[in-house]
């Protein structure tokens, strides 16, 4: 499978989508069953059954343990609305959450896309911990990795922009998008996220139109 490295952005840009673009927002408020999805002891990868979201997407999560120890992944547990991962000593794997929607998303790429995920907790901060966003079709995977996650002022929004043109990536046949947290074997690293988003980045003209609309509303309010 071909892999393409992406470009990273750390900011708090709002997302607006138009046309036939992929628009996905997961605030982890739709509970998975049974809540605590996975506990993996020993080497290997375990995936939880997919949870159908009201948006029509299916969210599937997996945990990989490479070098002994235990890894666990919790979604919609305590508190509701949080994606949480914790690992014990000697765990060198990670946790991946994948979103699918039938055979493919059948999207267009009129504009670049942006991933966004809020990092709200990172206890026992791992100097090597990383977050990777990915989007793929049957043959090509585009990804962007943010590292390190340690020493960031929390909460913080982690973002990555997917270019409009990615060599080999067919936007009309996207099979999956998602993110992977890799704690790289750091003892007892606990991390929590909220609010996963994936949508087109608005054109500058969209911002201008929004600004004009807000100015008009302000003017009308002053007239009253």
d(CA 66, CA 16): 39
Q: Once rounded to an integer, what is the mean pLDDT over residues 22-31?
A: 83
Residues 177-205 have a mean pLDDT of 80
- pLDDT at residue 210 tops 60: no
- pLDDT for 124 equals 64
Return the pLDDT at 207: 39
Average pLDDT value for residue range 3-14: 38
Report yes or no on whether pTM surpasses 0.85.
Answer: no
CATH (residue range 2-223): 2.60.120
Pick the more confident residue, 139 or 164: 139
Residue 151 near residue 48 (C-beta atoms within 8 A)? no
Q: Where are the extended beta strands (E) located within the chain?
A: 2-5, 7-9, 24-26, 36-41, 44-47, 51-52, 58-65, 70-75, 83-87, 94-100, 113-123, 130-136, 140-146, 156-162, 176-182, 190-200
**47 versus 21: which is more confidently predicted?**
47
pLDDT number for residue 216: 45
**Both structure tokens of 6:** 């992406």
Yes or no: say if 185 and 90 are a contact pair by the CB < 8 Å rule. yes
- DSSP annotation of 131: E
CA–CA dist 9, 112 (Å, integer): 13
- Measured at the CA of 34, the angle between CA 32 and CA 40, to 5 degrees, comes to 100
The percentage of the chain sitting over the pLDDT mark of 70, rounded to a whole number, equals: 64
| Residue 219 in this model has a pLDDT that exceeds 70 | no
CA-CA distance, 85 to 63, in Å (whole number)? 9
Q: How far apart are alpha carbons 61 and 117 in whole angstroms?
A: 16
For range 70-98, the mean pLDDT: 75
- Please report the pLDDT score of residue 109 as a whole number: 58
């Amino acid at each position: 499978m071909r892999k393409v490295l992406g470009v990273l952005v750390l900011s708090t840009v709002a997302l607006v989508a138009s046309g036939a673009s992929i628009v996905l927002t997961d605030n982890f408020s739709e509970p998975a069953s049974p809540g605590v999805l996975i506990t993996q002891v020993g080497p290997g990868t375990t995936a939880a059954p997919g949870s159908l979201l009201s948006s029509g997407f299916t969210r599937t999560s997996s945990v990989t343990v490479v070098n002994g120890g235990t890894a666990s992944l919790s979604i919609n547990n305590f508190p509701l609305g949080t994606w949480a991962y914790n690992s014990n000593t000697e765990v060198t794997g990670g946790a991946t959450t994948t979103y699918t929607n039938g055979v493919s998303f059948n999207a267009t790429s009129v504009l670049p896309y942006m991933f966004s995920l809020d990092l709200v907790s990172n206890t026992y901060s791992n100097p090597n911990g990383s977050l990777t966003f990915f989007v793929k079709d049957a043959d090509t995977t585009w990804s962007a990795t943010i590292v390190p996650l340690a020493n960031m002022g929390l909460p913080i929004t982690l973002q990555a922009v997917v270019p409009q043109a990615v060599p080999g990536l067919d936007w009309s046949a996207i099979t999956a998008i998602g993110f992977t947290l890799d704690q790289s074997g750091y003892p007892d690293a606990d991390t929590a996220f909220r609010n996963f988003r994936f949508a087109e980045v608005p054109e500058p003209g969209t911002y201008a139109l929004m600004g004009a609309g807000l100015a008009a509303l302000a003017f009308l309010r002053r007239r009253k």
